[in-house]
A and B are shown apart, each in its own frame.
Chain A
Amino acid sequence: MREKLIYLLSAAAAVLLVRNLYVIFLALPDEAQQGPIYRILFVHLPSAITCFIGFFAAGVCSALYLGTKNLRYDAVAAASTEVGLAFATVVLVTGSIWARIIWGIWWTWDARLTSMLVCWLLYAAYLMLRNAVTEPTQRARFSAVLSIFAFTDVIIVWKSIEWWRTQHPGPVLSIRTGGGRMDPDMESAIYWNLVALLLFAVVLVLVRIRQEEMRREIDGMRQAAHAF
Chain B
Amino acid sequence: MLGRAPSATPPQRTRQIPGDGSLAADMRASTSSQPPPGRTAQTPDKATDAARAADLRLRGAMAGYQAGDREAFERLHEELSRVLKRYLHSIVRDAGGVDDLVQDTFLQIHRARHTYDPSFPVTPWALAIARHVFLMDRRSRNRRREFARQPLEDTPEPSVASHEEPLIARSGIRHALGTLSHATREAVLLHHVCGLSFSDISRRLRVGSPALRCRASRGIARLREVLTSDISPSGE
Q: Is B one of A's binding partners?
A: no
User: What residues of chain A have their CB less than 8 Å away from a CB belonging to chain B?
Assistant: none
Chain B interfacial positions (CB closer than 8 Å to A):
none
